[in-house]
Amino acid sequence: MQQNPAVTVPVQKPHNQRQRHGDWKQAILLLLPMVVFVLIFTYLPAGMSLVLGLFHYHLLGVNTTFAGLTNFKDALTYPIFWTALKNTLIYAVYMVPLTIAGAIGIALLIHQKSRYYAMLRTFVLLPYITPVIATAIGWLWMFNPQYGMFNVVLRWLHLPQSQWLQSPSMAMPSVALYTLWHGLGFNVVIVLSALSSIPRHVQEAAAIDGATGWTRFRRITLPLLSPTVFFLLIITTIATLQAFSQVYALSGGTGGPAYATTTLLLLIYQTAFQDFHFSYAASMAMLLVLLILLLTLIQNWLSKRWVFYQ
Amino acid sequence: MSSRVERSTSPNRRKMLAGFRAVIALAVGLAFLFPLYIAFVTSLDTASQVFVFPPHLVPSFDFKSYIRVWQMARWAMYYGNTLFITLTTIAIALTTSILSGYALSFLEFKGRNAVFMAFLLVLMVPAEALLIPNYVILHEMSLLNTRWAQILPYGASVFGVFLLRQFFLGLPRSYWEAAKMDGASHLRFLWSVAIPLAKPVLFTISLFIFIGSWNSFQWPLIVTTSHAVQPVEVEVSRLMLAHSVDWRRLSAAGIMTTMPLVVLFLFLQRHIIRGISRGEGLQE
């Protein structure tokens, strides 16, 4: 430090090291708030979720005791758990393709540069930002078997009517209809943004070569969209397996009729927060997490066969 | 457009196709608007109009249902709760993500990337795994059944950190060098230079936290039982279970709750669309 200031400039190292050390202290201070929140509300509960299912945990009075795999065994031998699993999986089997196909279809339809189509995009996205419970009211009314819009129209067209949410076979598809209405716009916007990044000249070159509209879609648009489709596939599968609020609203919190709309997350909610069997519910949650993980891994593995990265 | 395409489709036919497309697209667009509209019409019906066949699509602007539904519950309190929870969540999440976003970009220290990865790992934790443990944690902290129980679990926004770090990394280092020459500390530089420049990013982050927090239902339903701390959505769900045939008032309650977001959306949809395209809409 006795050096002439003019000479210190090239000799940066000691200065830098002190700088690094000083930054550490400041970094800890600046990172601390975030770290505290992440530790308490994500890392700690994530760790707890791994072990909670292995205990008998009670909120008040009773001591926590080790349960081994009892909770998991109980869940796997509980008929309603299998009903919920079946409901959730069947729901996913039609919801995921419908969401992706619907999003691509609507996006292709309204992918036009004009105020008219921008307005229609607004209509399609609008439901996505609305609160689920509040907007489910309008749908409950439309699903009403006597006076609801759906049956009124079917009656008018002389088509067979449905009991919608009150019919065990139609209740879950009715929930799906609401969910598509609420969430499809989000997917449409993602596909639209992918579509606008496809260079025009690729399409034009294919058209010059005589490719028809369908061939261009099949051979050019779809492959170029495939990374987006893969992204939608993953997030839609996860969102579908986590269906809760709309099921709660449309079934009046029951998961009925006759457990027809009892999804896994609704069953976990009822078990934990209505019956207060926390560890039992935690073991179900762990099974749901494993299911989501498994499906994501399978989709990821399969994606190597069909996703095309430029 | 190429000449071959022009040859294969005559101008007339192309015009017809465009018209056809416009009509189909309009039908799709209106289908998305219709459920909100029908709730709006029902909420403005007179008592004798609700169960009438055929249904009507022109509202009769009878505001009695709104007056009645306003008297049915302590809406001011529920709206107050929703507003408090939403604004506090935004304030906390912005603070935590600004501070760490800055530390992860402007400060040089060992393990910087490791810390960032540890934050990103949060995105990998499935939400349903956290429901029960977080309830237990809030119970142990004696915070169940408070407004804070609905705020604190959302105090860290990983997307916020991600976006702000990205933004700060894009700022020229010379800004900081110049501020340091003038004797500014990191906090001073952050407050008077970095944050003002980051306003658009902060706005987008706040917008998505706002939508998520205003609409949140599952978590408030789980962690609260006393009405005094509950948000609007929980009260609406209670009304829905208790008055399941009073469609006019239920619709009025639904429209009342939905309207603020519709207005927000109409003004800010460009930001919302840009946010979703970048994947920020996923943070709920």
What is the predicted ipTM? 0.88
Residue B246 has pLDDT above 50, yes or no: yes
Query: Does the beta-carbon distance from B128 to A41 stay under 8 Å?
Result: no
User: Helices B158-170 & B112-120, crossing angle to 10 degrees?
Assistant: 140
Q: For residue B218, is it within any domain?
A: yes
Q: For residue B20, is it within any domain?
A: yes
Q: How confident is the model over B136-153, as pLDDT tens digits?
A: 999 999 999 999 999 999
Query: Does the beta-carbon distance from B35 to A181 stay under 8 Å?
Result: yes
Q: For residue A5, is it within any domain?
A: no
Q: For residue B253, is it within any domain?
A: yes
Task: Name the helix (H) or strand (E) containing A150.
Answer: helix A149-156
**pLDDT attached to residue B45:** 85
**pLDDT attached to residue B61:** 83
Query: pTM (2 decimals)?
Result: 0.88
* A258, A290: one domain: yes
Apex A240 CA angle, A147 and A154, nearest 5:
25
Residues 65-84 of chain A whose Cβ lies under 8 A from any Cβ of chain B: none
What percent of chain A has a predicted confidence (pLDDT) above 70?
A: 92
Residues 150-179 of chain B whose Cβ lies under 8 A from any Cβ of chain A: 152-153, 155-156, 158, 161
Any idea what the CATH number is for the domain that residue A272 is in? 1.10.3720.10
* B247, B151: one domain: yes
* A181, A232: one domain: yes
Q: How confident is the model over B57-107, as pLDDT tens digits?
A: 788 888 888 998 898 889 999 999 999 999 999 999 999 999 999 999 999
* B19, B108: one domain: no
In sequence order, the 6+-apart residues with CB closer than 8 A to the CB of A84 are A255, A259, A262, A263, A264, A266, A267
B242: contact with A, CB 8 A cutoff:
no
* CA distances in angstroms from B61 to B44, B64, B191, B249, listed in the order given: 5, 9, 50, 14
* A40, A157: one domain: no
Q: For residue A1, is it within any domain?
A: no
User: Helices B75-106 & A13-38, crossing angle to 10 degrees?
Assistant: 160
* A46, A170: one domain: no
Residue A180 has pLDDT above 80, yes or no: yes
Looking at the structure of chain B, the number of domains it has is 2
Q: For residue A300, is it within any domain?
A: yes
Query: Could you say which of B11, B37, B62 is where a domain stops?
Result: B62
**CB-CB: which of B99, B214, B240 is closest to A137?**
B240
**pLDDT attached to residue A151:** 92
Residues 173-232 of chain B whose Cβ lies under 8 A from any Cβ of chain A: 186, 211, 214-215, 217-218, 221-222, 232
d(CA B77, CA B83): 10
d(CA B94, CA A248): 31
d(CA B22, CA B26): 6
**pLDDT attached to residue B9:** 63
Q: For residue B69, is it within any domain?
A: no
For residue B177, give its domain range: 74-283
Q: For residue B168, is it within any domain?
A: yes
Tell me the residue type at B46: T
Find residue A65's DSSP bridge partners.
A56
What tokens appear for B141 in the block? 């902290």
Q: What is the CA radius of gyration of chain A?
A: 27
* B163, B243: one domain: yes
Query: Could you say which of B62, B85, B108 is where a domain stops?
Result: B62
How close is the nearest chain B Cα to the Cα of A163, in Å? Answer: 16
What tokens appear for B139 in the block? 């119970």
CB–CB of B204/B281 below 8 Å?
A: no
Residue A10 has pLDDT above 60, yes or no: no
- How does DSSP classify residue B62? -
* A295, A157: one domain: yes
Residues 8-27 of chain A whose Cβ lies under 8 A from any Cβ of chain B: 19-20, 23-24, 26-27
d(CA A296, CA A302): 10
Residues 102-141 of chain B whose Cβ lies under 8 A from any Cβ of chain A: 102-104, 107-110, 112, 115, 118-119, 122, 125-137, 139
* A172, A40: one domain: no
A248: contact with B, CB 8 A cutoff:
yes
Q: How confident is the model over A33-48, as pLDDT tens digits?
A: 999 999 999 999 999 9
Residue A156 burial by CB count (10 A; 0-12/13-18/19+): exposed, middle or buried?
exposed
* B164, B135: one domain: yes
What tokens appear for A154 in the block? 């079917």
Query: Does the beta-carbon distance from B51 to A147 stay under 8 Å?
Result: yes
Q: Sorting pLDDT into bands at 50, 70 and 90, what band is A307?
A: confident
Q: How confident is the model over A59-83, as pLDDT tens digits?
A: 776 778 887 888 899 889 999 999 9
- Asked which of A102-116, A202-216, A245-259, B24-38 is least confident by mean pLDDT, the reply is A202-216
* B145, B92: one domain: yes
What percent of chain B has a predicted confidence (pLDDT) above 70?
A: 93
Q: How confident is the model over A256-280, as pLDDT tens digits?
A: 899 999 999 999 999 999 998 888 9
* A43, A150: one domain: no
**CB-CB: which of B33, B50, B126 is closest to A292?**
B126
Dihedral (CA of A126, A127, A133, A135) sign? positive
* A161, A29: one domain: no
For residue A113, give its domain range: 70-306
Q: For residue A58, is it within any domain?
A: no
How close is the nearest chain A Cα to the Cα of B85, in Å? Answer: 15
**pLDDT attached to residue B8:** 55
Q: For residue B68, is it within any domain?
A: no
* Cβ count near B1 (within 10 Å): 11
Average pLDDT of chain B is 89
Looking at the structure of chain A, the number of domains it has is 2
* B19, B147: one domain: no
What tokens appear for B264 in the block? 């927000």
Query: Does the beta-carbon distance from A41 to B130 stay under 8 Å?
Result: yes
Any idea what the CATH number is for the domain that residue B171 is in? 1.10.3720.10
In sequence order, the 6+-apart residues with CB closer than 8 A to the CB of A232 are A99, A100, A103, A187, A190, A191
* CA distances in angstroms from A133 to A90, A182, B237, listed in the order given: 24, 11, 6
CB–CB of B243/B249 below 8 Å?
A: yes
* Cβ-Cβ contacts under 8 Å, A120 against chain B: 25-26, 28-29
Q: For residue A4, is it within any domain?
A: no
Q: For residue B91, is it within any domain?
A: yes
d(CA A98, CA B91): 38
- How does DSSP classify residue A273? I
**pLDDT attached to residue B53:** 63
**pLDDT attached to residue B1:** 42
In sequence order, the 6+-apart residues with CB closer than 8 A to the CB of A44 are B133, B137
Query: Does the beta-carbon distance from A137 to B236 stay under 8 Å?
Result: yes
Q: Sorting pLDDT into bands at 50, 70 and 90, what band is A12?
A: very low
* A74, A167: one domain: yes
Find residue A66's DSSP bridge partners.
A55
**pLDDT attached to residue A308:** 83
